[in-house]
């Protein structure tokens, strides 16, 4: 219970900044209805309670499952089992991810049916499985992370040459589609379980990270391949509504309406992990009844917390993000929009569940050598910069998303050859972890609100790319942090 209380205090301090910023804006630059403000406050409360319970459940439920599965695969000492196990695990967790089905529906819509939804779901799930499997092999055989990412992104950008700018944006946006708040801790735990069996402790520490970033590229690559194969050119369809926003004078009703849908999606995403637990308990896991019951309780806490969090984020935060973005952009003061864009990106990331999970694991794996707060600050700065760069893209017609992506990933790959391996894996994982529900609800709504207010901007076309930017910039800021650590270490050794 002390752990749960500590989580509550941590999350409360994380959610307060974004809540304070929005409330201050509501009394100064942005006009909001009373019902909207009350929904936002209620949403913030649900996020604090839900995220606290969710993270507690992750600690005692999902992380132990991932650790046990990862350790089991490597202990078999058979490459075939490692490869097949990775493909099967990746396919199962991907195909059950609700965000993937939403993404597939959007791609089907904007291609006017050229890329069928079912085909894309299956292709992406296979792609995730293949990349997860490849990530397992990388850890098992000690393949350097910087070489791995060089090859993956070389393939990605070669494929990108055959895509229109719109589909390049959609492809990179898709990186966050299968790495939901349940998949992220599971993959991180798998990586830790596999790397823990390495005899070299330093290599084990470094290889605890990078698997998440590698797995996410499976989605990007498969969306690109499907777009090329289907000969999808320019966007020819539309998405039914840029965002599923709530316009209501009611305060409680939107939350009640959202709860059953979100609960169903959360249950579907959780079921594969429960099935895996029962299957492997029968086959190999040597778990006492007490340990098994603790994991089941953890899964229950995870489900309850996730539902509360997502209901709060969707019914309380999404509409406010759009309202704030639209009204700030309507002020015709670009400086205010840019400055507040950075602030919104920074404070919203403080409440991102996957970022909390990743930063805790980083501090834990490194035994406190890399403080959690330092990593969190680097990620938040990165996301703040991402929002600013995306706003500049909307404001300046000459700036294209591919300019950012090509230059950003080229720099990140070059840096990876000079930064300590530990930070390279952390960096690519942090980019993936950043593109979670707070990005999908609050930050995406904020940027699309801005897009709607700018004359000549098509929110359906120009609105793509925000998630891609949020995924990119933390990769750079974490590697810069790695360079700082490297320089400081050398100075200490010299002194």
3-state secondary structure the chain: CHHHHHHHHHHHHHHHHHHHHHHHHHCCCCCCCHHHHHHHHHHHHHHHHHHHHHHHHHHHHHHHHHHHHHHHHHHCCCHHHHHHHHHHHHHHHHHCCHHHHHHHHHHHHHCCCCCCHHHHHHHHHHHHHHHHHHHHHHHHHCCCHHHHHHHHHHHHHHHHCCCCHHHHHHHHHHHHCCCCCCHHHHHHHHHHHHHCCCCCHHHHHHCCCCHHHHHHHHHHHHHHHHHHHCCCCCCCCCCCCCCCCCCCCCCCHHHHHHHHHHHHHHHHHHHHHHHHHHHHHHHCCCCCHHHHHHHHHHHHHHHHHHHHHHHHHHHHHHHHHHHHHHHHHCCCCHHHHHHHHHHHHHHHHCCCHHHHHHHHHHHHHCCCCCCHHHHHHHHHHHHHHHHHHHHHHHHCCCCCHHHHHHHHHHHHHHHHCCCCHHHHHHHHHHHHHHCCHHHHHHHHHHHHHHHHHCCCCCHHHHCCCHHHHHHHHHHHHHHHHHHHHHHHHHHHHHC
The average pLDDT across 302-331 equals 92
Instruction: Measure the N-to-C terminal CA separation of the chain; round to a whole number of Å.
Output: 45
Mean pLDDT, rounded, for 233-249: 55
Over the range 120-144, which residues count as b (16 or more CB within 10 Å of their CB) and which as e?
bbbbbbbbbbbbbbbbbebbbeeeb
Comparing 206-210, 242-246, 413-417, the range with the smallest average pLDDT is 242-246
Q: How confident is the model at residue 243 (pLDDT cuts 50, 70, 90)?
A: very low
The average pLDDT across 123-140 equals 91
Where is pLDDT greater, at 327 or 199? 327
CB 354 within 8 A of CB 364: no
Angle at 429 between CA 212 and CA 263, to 5 degrees: 65
What per-residue confidence (pLDDT) applies to 456? 85
Bigger pLDDT: 273 or 244? 273
Position 148 pLDDT exceeds 80:
yes
Where residue 455 falls among pLDDT bands split at 50, 70, 90?
confident
pLDDT recorded at residue 241: 46
Q: 182: which residues sit within 8 A by CB, 6+ positions away?
A: 62, 93, 97, 266, 269, 270, 273, 302, 306
> What local confidence, expressed as pLDDT, does residue 109 receive?
75
**Separation CA 31–CA 324 (nearest Å):** 9
pLDDT at 287: 85
- The lowest-confidence range among 76-80, 122-126, 175-179, 242-246 is 242-246
Largest Cα–Cα distance in the chain?
65
The answer to whether 83 and 130 have CB atoms below 8 angstroms apart is no
Does the pLDDT at position 237 exceed 80? no
Q: In whole angstroms, what is the distance from residue 104 CA to residue 124 CA?
A: 9
Choose between 170 and 44: higher pLDDT. 44
Residues 179-208: pLDDT tens digits?
Answer: 778 889 999 999 988 888 776 667 778 888
pLDDT computed for residue 232 by the predictor = 66
**To the nearest whole number, what is the mean pLDDT of the chain?**
89
pLDDT digits 0-9 by tens, 39-56: 999 999 999 999 999 999
- Separation between Cα atoms, residue 133 and residue 214, nearest integer Å: 10
Higher pLDDT, 256 or 103: 256
What percent of the chain is modeled with pLDDT above 70?
Answer: 95
pLDDT exceeds 60 at position 384: yes
Q: Is 244's pLDDT higher than 70?
A: no
Q: Are 448 and 460 in contact (CB under 8 A)?
A: no
Tell me the mean pLDDT in the region 292-304.
95
Contacts of 21 (CB under 8 A, 6+ apart): 343, 344, 347
Confidence class for position 301, pLDDT limits 50, 70, 90:
very high
Provide the pLDDT confidence category of residue 77 given band limits of 50, 70 and 90: confident
pLDDT at site 374: 96
Q: What pLDDT is recorded for position 234?
A: 64
pTM of the model: 0.91
Lowest mean pLDDT among 65-69, 145-149, 213-217, 420-424: 65-69
């Amino acid at each position: 219970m002390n752990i749960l209380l500590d989580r509550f205090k941590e999350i409360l301090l994380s959610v307060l900044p974004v809540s304070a910023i929005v409330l201050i804006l509501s009394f100064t630059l942005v006009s909001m209805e009373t019902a909207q403000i009350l929904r936002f406050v209620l949403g913030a409360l649900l996020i604090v309670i839900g995220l606290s319970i969710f993270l507690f459940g992750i600690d005692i439920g999902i992380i132990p499952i991932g650790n046990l599965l990862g350790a089991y695969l490597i202990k078999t000492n058979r490459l075939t089992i490692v490869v097949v196990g990775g493909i099967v695990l990746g396919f199962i967790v991907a195909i059950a991810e609700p965000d993937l089905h939403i993404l597939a529906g959007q791609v089907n819509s904007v291609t006017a049916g050229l890329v069928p939804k079912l085909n894309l779901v299956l292709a992406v799930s296979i792609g995730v499985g293949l990349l997860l499997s490849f990530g397992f092999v990388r850890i098992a055989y000690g393949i350097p992370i910087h070489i791995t990412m060089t090859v993956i992104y070389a393939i990605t950008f070669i494929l990108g040459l055959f895509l229109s700018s719109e589909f390049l944006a959609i492809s990179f946006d898709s990186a966050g589609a299968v790495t939901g708040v349940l998949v992220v801790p599971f993959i991180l735990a798998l990586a830790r379980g596999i790397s823990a069996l390495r005899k070299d402790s330093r290599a084990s520490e470094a290889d605890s990270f990078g698997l998440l970033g590698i797995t996410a590229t499976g989605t990007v690559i498969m969306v690109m391949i499907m777009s090329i194969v289907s000969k999808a050119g320019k966007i020819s369809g539309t998405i039914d509504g840029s965002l599923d926003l709530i316009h209501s004078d009611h305060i409680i009703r939107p939350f009640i309406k959202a709860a059953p849908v979100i609960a169903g999606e959360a249950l579907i995403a959780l079921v594969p992990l429960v099935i895996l637990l029962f299957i492997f308990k029968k086959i190999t896991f040597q778990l006492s009844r007490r340990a098994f019951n603790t994991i089941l309780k953890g899964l229950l806490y995870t489900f309850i917390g996730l539902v509360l969090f997502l209901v709060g984020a969707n019914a309380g935060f999404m509409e406010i993000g759009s309202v704030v973005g639209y009204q700030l952009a309507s002020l015709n003061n670009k400086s205010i929009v840019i400055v507040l864009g950075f602030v919104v990106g920074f404070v919203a990331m403080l409440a991102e569940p996957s970022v909390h999970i990743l930063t805790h694991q980083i501090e834990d794996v490194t035994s406190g050598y890399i403080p959690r707060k330092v990593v969190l600050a680097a990620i938040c700065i990165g996301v703040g910069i991402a929002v600013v760069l995306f706003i500049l893209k909307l404001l300046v017609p000459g700036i294209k998303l591919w300019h950012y992506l090509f230059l950003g990933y080229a720099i990140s790959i070059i840096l990876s050859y000079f930064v300590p391996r530990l930070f390279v894996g952390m960096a690519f994982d942090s980019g993936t972890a950043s593109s979670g529900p707070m990005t999908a609800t609050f930050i995406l709504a904020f940027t699309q609100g801005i897009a709607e207010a700018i004359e000549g901007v098509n929110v359906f076309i120009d609105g793509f790319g925000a998630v891609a930017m949020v995924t990119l910039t933390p990769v750079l800021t974490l590697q810069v942090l790695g360079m700082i650590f490297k320089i400081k270490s050398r100075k200490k050794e010299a002194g």
